[in-house]
């Protein structure tokens, strides 16, 4: 199984970001630690980085300069960059083909893609494993409790 664990603080920060403009997509970066226990992958996200950039109603692109800033932030906080999140504005939180391509081409294996819908209060996450296959992640609190978004 694949688990994504958010601290309460990170959850609030991520949601607050998507509500800066809930009609347009926006995105940011996820930091923390990845652990493997047998067949399980557990990703603990304890920090995010974002800038006040917006895409359009159904698109957000992680441009090169933005990824550079995220890598600089990674060095600053000395944590692992685990992947990205983006909002889906007024649309449901479902990963599109573009999202899969973005995940696979830009961030490669061992990367998380999170999508949040401010309109529907939905959050989904997928993990691209080293076998090259995307797996749906179960989202939990750090105490392994069910997480309500």
Binding site for Zn ion (CB under 5 A): 99
CB of 96 to Zn ion, least distance (A): 5
Residue (of 31, 12, 26) closest to 70 by Cα position: 31
Is the Cβ of residue 31 or residue 116 nearer to Zn ion in the bound state? Answer: 116
CB of 46 to Zn ion, least distance (A): 23
Is the Cβ of residue 42 or residue 115 nearer to Zn ion in the bound state? Answer: 115
Is the Cβ of residue 44 or residue 99 nearer to Zn ion in the bound state? Answer: 99
User: On the CB side of 70, how many CA atoms lie within 13 Å of its CA?
Assistant: 23
CA dist 141 → 11, 42, 48, 70 (Å): 9, 12, 16, 24
Q: How far is CA 30 from the centre of its chain?
A: 6
Strand pairing class (2-6; 138-140):
parallel
Is the Cβ of residue 42 or residue 66 nearer to Zn ion in the bound state? Answer: 66
CB of 60 to Zn ion, least distance (A): 7
CB of 113 to Zn ion, least distance (A): 8
């Amino acid at each position: 199984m694949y688990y994504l664990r958010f601290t309460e603080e990170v959850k609030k920060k991520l949601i607050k970001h998507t509500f800066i403009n809930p009609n347009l997509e926006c995105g940011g970066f996820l930091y923390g630690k990845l652990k493997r226990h047998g067949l399980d992958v557990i990703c603990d996200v304890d920090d995010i980085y974002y800038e006040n950039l917006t895409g359009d109603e159904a698109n957000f692109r992680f441009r090169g300069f933005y990824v550079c800033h995220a890598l600089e932030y990674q060095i600053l906080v000395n944590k692992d960059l685990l992947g990205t999140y983006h909002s889906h504005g007024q649309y449901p939180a479902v990963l599109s083909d573009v999202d899969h391509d973005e995940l696979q081409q830009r961030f490669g294996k061992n990367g998380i893609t999170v999508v949040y819908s401010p309109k529907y209060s939905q959050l989904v996450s997928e993990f691209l494993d080293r076998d090259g296959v995307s797996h749906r992640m179960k989202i939990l609190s750090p105490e392994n409790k069910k997480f309500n978004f």
